[in-house]
Chains A and B, each alone.
Chain A
Amino acid sequence: MDISNYLYLSVILFTIGATGVLVRRNAIVIFMCIELMLNAANLALVTFSRVAGNLEGQVASFFTMVVAACEVVVGLAIIVTIYRSRRSASVDDASLLKS
């Protein structure tokens, strides 16, 4: 089996995550799709690390995970705050910038 299959899988997961961000309305689900994209990127990094024979890809993946964790923490806190003031978790309701 071609090693590139992992890369294809990564691309497919990334695309699904990107489309999900655009299509879903619930803020938390959108966040989850973003996590999916990050994971897809991680998969690609690990695959490259294996191909290259060094650990650089894995280190990058590690950092990605850490940053993703921080991002999830802060992002969900924001979502909770917005929910508290607006009682709604739909991103379409935060449309005050409309012209």
Chain B
Amino acid sequence: MRTSSLLVYLIALPLFSSAFLLLLGRIADKWGHILATLITASTFVIGAYEFMKMQGQAGESRAVTQKLFEWISVGSLKVNASLLLDQLSICFVLLITGVGTLIHIYSIAYMSHDKDRRRFFAFLNLFIAAMLLLVLGDSYLNLYIGWEGVGLASYLLIGFWNHNPTYAVASKKAFVANRVGDVGLSLAIMICFAQFGTVSFEGVKAGAHGASSAAIAGIGAMLLLAACGKSAQFPLQSWLGDAMAGPTPVSALIHAATMVTAGVYLISRSNFIFDASSTARLLVVIVGAITLLFGAIIGTAKDDIKKALAASTMSQIGYMILATGLGPVGYAFAILHLLTHGFFKAGMFLGAGSVMHGMDDEVNMRKYGGLAKLMPITAVTFGLGYLAILGVPPFAGFYSKDKIIEVAFNAGGLKGILLGGAALLGAAITAFYMTRVMVMTFIGARRWKAGSHPHESPILMTLPMILLAFGSVASGFLLSNGSALVHWLEPVVNSQNVEEGKPLMPALVVSLLALGVVVIGAAFAIIKYRTVSDVAPENVSEFTKAARKDLYQDILNDRLLVAPGTLLTAGLVRADDRVIDGGVRFVGSFLGATSDALRKVQNGFVRSYALLMLAGLVITVIAVWVIGA
């Protein structure tokens, strides 16, 4: 295994930059954002350098490690703080640092009017550092540190404008939902340690064959729970829509490209676990399938452009999770879709931010319309991302999404038909609601509110969008040409070189089917949204009403979890006040009351004192008598 001394800088540079900017305070206001962007750019440079070095190696020896220090050595548990950069991690490193740098540049202009811009960049750097630690950790425990770190950064960034109570609540909601997932990860680590005596990836991989199926299934289920939390999959998906309360660059970076994909990374990294347990794989595909439909349905009813894109993210990650549950062949396609999704979704979010910037921070699409002429660059880049997500050839999504649909069908039997069917249906609905977004925003009649002057955004905002649009266009072809990514990732995720199963239908047929449902969905949307009312109509179908309410997930969470939790807390508070504090107060008041009663003995009369003396004498004599007897 090669070692490198550069890996630690990937994490240390942004981390120290973040601390630096936070501690310096207002002094750094003038140049803080420049420093942060430069640091992120330097991590991209380091990542690119490592990538090039890696390409020069042979397949098996491409992984690089760096041991920092011995962290935990307690009894039989030995965990080192060390970093691992292999073919899987480098994909993520390049995605995080690359897209991250572009979004840093975008934020310089987007947040230029905000007086807390320096703090924003500090948190962005913190996020970069934590996410890199997540993908570079060489054991589950190191991954967990990064996992928690991104949760923290997400909380800080969603609630960046925490003077608004709604935003503060949204950040809390995200954190709490993530926490539920984190419990899963903790339990998985504990089971790993109990079962294998180690928590490093290598160690668990080595021991996965011999472990009992119940333990492996348990670990897999817990890892899936963690992934659900972080990646907003069913049943922990309620936080992603509310997370759009954060500034748009945050939504683009964290909730589209990187943090929400951490779940996919976790499952891919733990491929040896999932490959060893068909129960866990089944759970994964069920969750993936449900979520992709869930997100798509919700997306059809959202009028808030960011929430629509968030629902789309949820659905696309459902595709990725579905792919990871389809065996050794699926991981590479999940990562492929992850990378292409990173480009086009981040691009679309930045486009949405640009539209909001031009429309005075209005997010309701019913107030948009006909913006294409006035914001051409935004419209073009957004449009390219739209075509990519639809899966129109030759754009990026075509390669990744179709592959996933194909692998789903090839899973065999009834399961394959169901999963493939669900994926196709999801593609159709995706086409419908994304077309809806495009039509409502850029085409059609102008439904703006009075006083809006939509204008194109400054160069610092449009440049990242253009660069990401290049990714939307080309990344799919580049990554899947000659199965490049599949071969690149093989040593990590598919070491046994399991081949794809016999295809159900030829790949061409699948692609044509997919294209067909996409065209139908898009056409449907164009017809329906030729004219758009600028107020959401009231008399809609029950389906639409349910979709508007996120398919009642929030209400369910509230009734099932929040209400009993509040009851329990209130009960505990009451118990603390009455029983514990009451006990303490009782001691005080009891003493006071006793003293009060005893005080009355001192009535000042000599005769009662004499009586007490006589009584005492009698008692003493009796006592002496009894004891002496």
Measured CB to CB, the residues of A under 8 A from B are 18, 21-23, 25, 91-92, 94-99
Contact = CB atoms under 8 A, between A and B. Distances in A.
Contact of B604 (A22, A23, A97): A97
A97 B611 CA distance: 16
B6 interface: no
A22 B603 contact: no
Contacts of A98: 602-605
Interface in B571-629: 599-600, 602-607, 610-611, 614
A22 B599 contact: no
Contacts, number: 32
A96 B606 CA distance: 10
Contacts of A23: 607
Contacts of B599: 99
Contact of A97 (B600, B602, B607): B602
Contact of B607 (A91, A96, A99): A91
B614 A95 contact: no
Contacts of B604: 95-99
A95 B611 contact: no
Given A91-B607, A92-B607, A22 B614 contact: yes
Nearest to B598: A99
B602 A25 contact: no
B610 A21 contact: yes
A92 B610 contact: no
Nearest to A92: B605
Nearest 6 Cβ contacts at the A-B interface = A98-B604, A95-B604, A99-B602, A97-B604, A91-B606, A22-B611
A31 to B, nearest CB: 12
A91 B604 CA distance: 10
19 contacts: A18-B614, A21-B610, A22-B607, A25-B607, A91-B605, A91-B606, A91-B607, A92-B605, A92-B606, A94-B606, A95-B605, A96-B604, A98-B602, A98-B603, A98-B604, A99-B599, A99-B600, A99-B602, A99-B603
Interface residues on B, range: 10 to 19
Contacts of A25: 607
Nearest to A97: B604
A22 B612 CA distance: 10
A99 B603 CA distance: 6
Given A22-B607, A99-B604, 15 more contacts: A18-B614, A21-B607, A22-B611, A23-B607, A25-B607, A91-B606, A92-B605, A92-B606, A95-B603, A95-B604, A95-B606, A97-B602, A99-B599, A99-B600, A99-B603
A20 to B, nearest CB: 10
A1 to B, nearest CB: 27
A22 B602 contact: no
Contacts of B600: 99
Contacts of A95: 603-606
A43 to B, nearest CB: 20
Most buried by B among A92, A94, A96: A92
A64 B610 CA distance: 22
Contacts of A99: 599-600, 602-604
A93 to B, nearest CB: 10
A41 B207 CA distance: 99
A69 B18 CA distance: 98
Nearest to B601: A99
Contacts of A22: 607, 610-611, 614
Nearest to B611: A22
A96 B604 CA distance: 6
Contacts of A92: 605-607
A54 B614 CA distance: 32
B599 to A, nearest CB: 5
Contacts of B602: 97-99
A99 to B, nearest CB: 4
A91 to B, nearest CB: 5
Nearest to B607: A22
A21 B612 CA distance: 12
Nearest to A15: B614
Contacts of A18: 614
Nearest to A91: B606
A18 B600 CA distance: 24
A98 B602 CA distance: 5
A96 B614 CA distance: 22
A69 B600 CA distance: 36
A22 B611 CA distance: 6
A46 B602 CA distance: 39
A95 B607 CA distance: 10
B612 to A, nearest CB: 10
A23 B611 CA distance: 9
Nearest to B612: A22
